[in-house]
Amino acid sequence: MEPRSSPETVTSGSLVTVRFDRAALRGTVRRRGKINLPHFPLQRDLVVELDLETFTVTGPDSRFVPGRKDGPDVPLDLDPSEISLFRGQVKGRPGSRVVLALRDGHHTGSIDLDPGAPCYCVSSRGINGQALERDRSSVFEASPLPSFHQTFPSAA
C-alpha cells in the first residue's frame, strides 16, 4: 500500500499554497518508496493527484563545489542526503512529468501536465520572492516558459 499525504491548501486571490506533510515524506524517503498526494491544487479550480517515487542523483561522498573565477573553489556546507527528491506523474495523465526537491522546509519543483498544456512551479517562495512559512509552498503557472516537453522532446 502506498502512503497517502493530502496537502493542506490555502488560496488567496490567484495564489495557491500547500503545506507538505514532512513526516510522511521523510518516511517515504527512508523507505525509498512511493507516495500518493491526492487533492494537489494547481489552481483554485484545478486539483490533481500526484503519484511520486523517491530518487537520488548523488552518492554518500558527493559534495557541491562552486567554481570561482578569481579564487579557490570552496565546497558548500551541504549534506546531499538532506535533499529529498521525488519524481512521477499526474494520475490519469501519462504524458505528465513531476519533479520535486525538498530540504529542511524549502521546496522547489515543476509539474508539467502534457505537451501543450501549462507547466506549474512549486516553490517555498511566494510570487514576490518572499519566503513562505516553513513547509508551505506556492503553486503557480509557469507559462509562457517552454514546457519540459519542448525543452527535452521524448524520443519517438
pLDDT tens digits, one per residue of 84-104: 899 999 999 999 999 999 887
Peptide bond into 38 cis (omega under 30): no
More confident call, 47 vs 116: 47
In this prediction, residue 98 carries a pLDDT of 96
Q: Where are the alpha helices (DSSP H) in 32-143?
A: none
CB 33 within 8 A of CB 3: yes
CB 54 within 8 A of CB 86: yes
Q: What is the DSSP string of 15-26?
A: EEEEE--HHHHH
Q: Can you read off the three cell numbers belonging to residue 9?
A: 491548501
pLDDT bucket at 3, cuts 50 / 70 / 90: very low
The 10 Å Cβ neighbour count of residue 29 is 18
More confident call, 5 vs 130: 130
DSSP 8-state assignment for residue 40: E
Tell me how far apart the alpha carbons of residues 28 and 24 are, in angstroms, rounded to a whole number: 6
Percent of the chain with pLDDT over 70: 75
pLDDT bucket at 133, cuts 50 / 70 / 90: confident
* Grid cell 499525504 in the structure block, residue: 5
Q: Which residues pair with 103 in a beta bridge?
A: 106
pTM over 0.85: no
